[in-house]
Amino acid sequence: MQNWIPILLLTCLLACGSGSKQSTPAPTPPPVTPPTGGSFHVAALVTGLAQPTALALVPDGRIFICEQGGALRVIKGGALLATPFVTVPTSIAGERGLLGVSVDPQFVQNGYVYVYYTAATPTTHNRLSRFVAAGDVAQAGSETILLELDDLSSANNHNGGALHFGPDGKLYVGVGENANGANAQSFNNLLGKLLRLNPDGSVPADNPFLSQTTGKNRLIWAMGLRNPYTFAFQPGTGRLFINDVGQNTWEEVNVGRAGANYGWPGTEGLTTDPAYASPLYAYPHSGGTVNGCSIVGADFYDPTTPAFPAAFLHQYLFMDYCGGWLRTMDPSTGTVSDWLTGFSSPVDLRVASDGSVLVLCRGGGGALQRVTYTNP
């Protein structure tokens, strides 16, 4: 736990580059008020997770949890299983490690589980691999390496790692710029980008930069990102929001668009520069009514069985690692509302099919917490 906090603060609090733009703080967000008599409850589902970084939901009700040290843990029937699904060899310096997990849309048929982690050999780089499930563990020898990303510098922060399948059946991967802003604007590497792959790792024929790139760089779908630690697709609409961790001024929620350039390092926060896609919403590190240092957690409240008040339907949920708060956003207008506070170093969240919200925290002894609502 201790090695993560200084690095995240370093990620967020280093002095801004000369090209950074300033934004006007958003108005004070209104609170989300449940109906009279109703109340929200936050309770630990499991504790004892070692430096968790990300989670994924399995169609059969299991939950996968990434631990930074390389173990992909399994929660089944509300209990943390003693044996990990798999443990990958990884470098855990700074923000490196096992950072992302996703299950295939056809998981029931093929058992495919995808992970993103920092490989230490033959050189230090991030890797995307696929494993095949055999019950609660991976089949021995089933790792298929789908993508070897660019070699990392001595900087051990800004690795990204989020993995999600889009409604088009493609796998999207958020990659940080390895603490080098120039990477985010280069077509010669995958750093500082959102990538789009076929499930077998090949390049989709309709990726936006095919004529400007070669080799694996043709996987680039959007660019100009600093550290897209989390992102989410909205069920039904396919809308994509990308959370980009800022430097020392602004945290961003960006609307995902093929071929977009989000401006880092030339701009941070809202911008009027027509060369760049401005965020839908940005909040400052200080001086605003909403403050934080590292935007994390991402999902839309569109569960199979809604269990919260109607005001939550279709809202975008996001958190801040330092602020420990959970807020909602109207995806049509970018209007943000207060909701819950008091989470200890949250890193990821998911909306479960039963309408509850799962929040993964590095604090509190490494906890997966569940938010539920009691109807009046």
The set of catalytic residues is 158
- For residue 105, the Cα-to-chain-centroid distance in whole angstroms is 18
Q: Are 103 and 58 in contact (CB under 8 A)?
A: yes
Distance CA 309, CA 106 (A): 31
Give the separation between CA 317 and CA 365, rounded to whole angstroms.
23
β-sheet bridge partners, residue 40:
373
CA distance 74 to 56: 10
Write out the chain in H/E/C secondary structure: CCCHHHHHHHHHHCCCCCCCCCCCCCCCCCECCCCCCCEEEEEEEECCCCCEEEEEECCCCCEEEEECCCEEEEEECCEECCCCCEECCCCCCCCCCEEEEEECCCHHHHCEEEEEEEECCCCCEEEEEEEEEECCEECCCCCEEEEEEEECCCCCCCCCCCEEECCCCCEEEEECCCCCHHHHHCCCCCCCEEEEECCCCCCCCCCCCHHHCCHHHHHEEEECCCCCCEEEECCCCCCEEEEECCCCCEEEEEECCCCCECCCCCCCCCCCCCCCCCCCEEEECCCCCCCCCCEEEEEECCCCCCCCCHHHCCCEEEEECCCCCEEEECCCCCCEEEEECCCCCEEEEEECCCCCEEEEECCCCCEEEEEEEECC
